[in-house]
């Protein structure tokens, strides 16, 4: 089979590798019909997470081609989406639908231990827990977003603990940030203040219902948010980037007693957490990767009846063999290229 491999910063190749075998009696093998580049994949590509070489990708929709004898919910031929984060599927943590709390520890496809989803075939452990049959009325684009980005944005808004009618600021308007904007509005936010240096991305957030703030530094974000909230600050800040600069901006812009919800992937360097500021202003800091399986319970009905819009996030399509060009386009982080999809 073919699989996309990040060999070193800024360099990807498409390699021929042996087809995967069943990972376990409760596992499955999925023939990938569509996969995508996530912002966290770019951290590997950019060298922020130096895990080289690595078969990459954790967002996949495809068809089951093999199942183990202990798989109960799926059969060969079923069309499924694969949760980006994997758990054992048997412990009390996984019973909540959140693989992050798996007692064996969560694993992410395309990060070393598990295969990469940007491949022809993907081995999936604990298939009954990791897979979801593509729901009726859910488009291919929406199904692919349900593997990670939509669930991540939804979780970020949930963990922001917004009261109905509250004001949330979203820092970073890539695919996850845009999903967070839409999720916050569906969850009852009165206003979403959106910040991103790229004009095209700000325009997409505005079309989704956000109020755009033009700010490029932590001080400018604070000033813009405080002006928009009559000097109080945002009830919550969702940081979909998680650089030192955006984290500084989040602490500066959130109101006293507010919540910062971090979804972005920081690099390997430690962040100088402003603990005194957090204590003095009673700030709650929450961080998570996507509890994908738990989020499906809320998201699928919302997507099916159209209350949560999933259109306009995928902007570019590439063949798998053109992975180098696809990563170059995604890494430019332009206003035109929001999210890239592969069709093997």
pLDDT average, residue stretch 247-276: 95
Cβ neighbours for 230, distance < 8 A, ≥ 6 positions apart: none
pTM for this model (two decimals): 0.96
Is the pLDDT confidence value at 239 over 90? yes
pLDDT of residue 231: 97
> 270: pLDDT confidence band, cut at 50, 70 and 90?
very high
The CATH homologous superfamily to which domain 154-287 belongs is NAD(P)-binding Rossmann-like Domain (3.40.50.720)
Report CA 92 to chain centroid distance, whole Å: 24
Backbone angles phi, psi at 250, to 5 degrees: -65, -45
Identify the pLDDT of residue 259.
Answer: 98
Per-residue pLDDT, 217: 86
Every domain range in the chain assigned CATH 3.40.50.720: 154-287
Domain with CATH 3.90.180.10 in the chain: 2-148+291-343
Alpha helices in 147-282 (DSSP H): 149-159, 175-186, 199-207, 218-228, 244-253, 275-280
Model confidence at 100: pLDDT above 90: yes
CATH 3.90.180.10 fits 2-148+291-343, yes or no: yes
Give residue 118's pLDDT: 98
Predicted pLDDT of residue 214: 86
Checking if the pLDDT of 216 tops 90, the result is no
Instruction: Tell me phi and psi for residue 35, to 5 degrees.
Output: -140, 180
Could you tell me the sign of the dihedral formed by the alpha carbons of 162, 163, 169, 175, in that order? positive
The average confidence (pLDDT) of the chain is 96
pLDDT band, very low/low/confident/very high, at 261 (cuts 50, 70, 90): very high
Task: Give the pLDDT confidence score for residue 142 in this predicted structure.
Answer: 97
pLDDT tens digits for range 129-147:
999 999 999 999 999 999 9
Judge whether residue 194 has pLDDT over 90.
Answer: yes
pLDDT in tens, 321-335: 999 999 999 999 998
Residue 237: per-residue pLDDT: 98
User: Looking at residue 51, what is its pLDDT?
Assistant: 87
- DSSP classification of residue 298: H
pLDDT at position 343 is 84
107 pLDDT more than 80: yes
Whether 344 has a pLDDT exceeding 80, the answer reads: no
Supply the pLDDT for residue 112: 80
Give tens-digit pLDDT for 27-63. 999 999 999 999 999 999 999 888 899 999 999 999 9
| Cα–Cα dist 239/263, whole Å | 6
Structure token pair of residue 261? 């919800």
Looking at residue 135, its pLDDT comes to: 95
Mean pLDDT (whole number) for 214-236: 94
Query: CA 169, CA 93: separation in Å to the nearest integer?
Result: 31
């Amino acid at each position: 089979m073919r699989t996309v491999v990040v060999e070193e910063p800024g360099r990807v190749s498409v390699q021929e590798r042996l087809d995967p075998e069943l990972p376990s009696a409760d596992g499955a093998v999925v023939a990938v019909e569509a996969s995508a580049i996530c912002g966290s994949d770019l951290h590997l590509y950019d060298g922020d997470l130096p895990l080289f070489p690595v078969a990459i990708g954790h967002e996949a929709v495809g068809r089951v081609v093999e199942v183990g004898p202990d798989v109960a919910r799926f059969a060969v031929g079923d069309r499924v989406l694969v949760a980006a984060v994997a758990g054992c599927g048997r412990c009390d943590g996984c019973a909540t639908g959140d693989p992050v709390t798996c007692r064996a520890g969560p694993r992410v496809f395309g990060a070393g231990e598990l295969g990469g989803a940007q491949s022809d075939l993907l081995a999936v452990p604990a298939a009954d827990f990791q897979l979801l049959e593509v729901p009726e009325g859910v488009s291919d684009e929406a199904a692919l977003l349900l593997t990670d980005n939509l669930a991540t944005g939804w979780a970020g808004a949930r963990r922001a603990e917004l009261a109905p009618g509250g004001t949330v600021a979203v820092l970073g308007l890539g695919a996850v940030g845009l999903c967070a904007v839409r999720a916050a509005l569906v969850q009852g936010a009165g206003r979403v203040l959106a910040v991103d240096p790229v004009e095209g991305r700000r325009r997409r957030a505005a079309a989704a219902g956000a109020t755009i703030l033009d700010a490029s530094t932590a001080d400018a974000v604070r000033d813009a948010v405080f002006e928009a909230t009559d000097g109080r600050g945002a009830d919550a800040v969702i940081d979909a980037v998680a650089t030192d600069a955006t984290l500084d901006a989040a602490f500066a812009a959130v109101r006293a007693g507010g919540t910062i919800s971090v979804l972005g992937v920081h690099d390997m360097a430690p962040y100088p957490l402003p603990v005194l500021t957090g204590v003095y202003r009673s700030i709650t800091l929450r961080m998570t990767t996507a509890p994908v399986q738990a989020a499906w319970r809320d998201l699928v009905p919302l997507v099916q009846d159209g209350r949560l819009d999933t259109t306009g996030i995928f902007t570019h399509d590439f063949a798998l063999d053109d992975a180098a060009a696809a990563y170059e386009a995604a890494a430019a982080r332009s206003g035109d290229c929001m999210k890239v999809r592969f069709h093997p």
